[in-house]
């Protein structure tokens, strides 16, 4: 399942929605819900034909995702990575730990401790090699 473009788009969309609504990405996943996540993943190639910002706005509205207080981009002391970069980090991790259900694995990953670690743009965690991020996720902590 390497290089799953539909998963990459889904994760990037989650990241963009989180940034726009200032919500933790785990909160975005929860607000979208399993049915909507499955729809996004299944039809990512169709949604990708529109500008991602328009697609994000449509899901923000249809799922009533309210503004929050989590603004990790503004808190970033350096240049914040773009939503495509972070989408790729999540995509790779989900690919690397996925069982037989991509959306279930996506939900588990975003609902875990690693959401905070990847969203901390003042650390270099999200730049680490994918094997390291996978091992950290499986161990349940950042490895030293």
**Eight-class DSSP state of 122:** T
Selection from 131, 128, 89, 130 nearest residue 110 by Cα? 89
- Residue 1: per-residue pLDDT: 54
- Residue 143: per-residue pLDDT: 85
- Residue 95: per-residue pLDDT: 97
Q: Which residues of the chain have pLDDT under 70?
A: 1-2
- 65-93 pLDDT, tens digit per residue, is 999 999 999 999 989 999 999 999 999 99
- Residue 47 and residue 39: Cα distance in Å, rounded? 10
């Amino acid at each position: 399942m390497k290089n799953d473009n539909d998963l990459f788009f889904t994760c990037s969309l989650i990241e963009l929605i989180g940034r726009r609504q200032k919500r933790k990405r785990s909160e975005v996943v929860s607000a979208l819900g399993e049915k909507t996540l499955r729809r996004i993943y299944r039809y990512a190639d169709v949604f990708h034909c529109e500008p991602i910002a328009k697609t994000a706005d449509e899901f923000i509205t249809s799922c009533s995702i309210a503004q929050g207080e989590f603004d990790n981009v503004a808190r970033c002391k350096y240049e914040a990575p773009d939503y495509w970069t972070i989408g790729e980090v999540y995509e790779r991790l989900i690919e690397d730990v996925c069982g037989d259900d991509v959306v279930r694995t996506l939900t588990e990953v975003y609902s875990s401790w690693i959401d905070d670690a990847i969203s901390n743009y003042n650390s270099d965690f999200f730049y680490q090699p994918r094997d390291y991020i996978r091992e950290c996720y499986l161990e349940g902590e950042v490895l030293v």
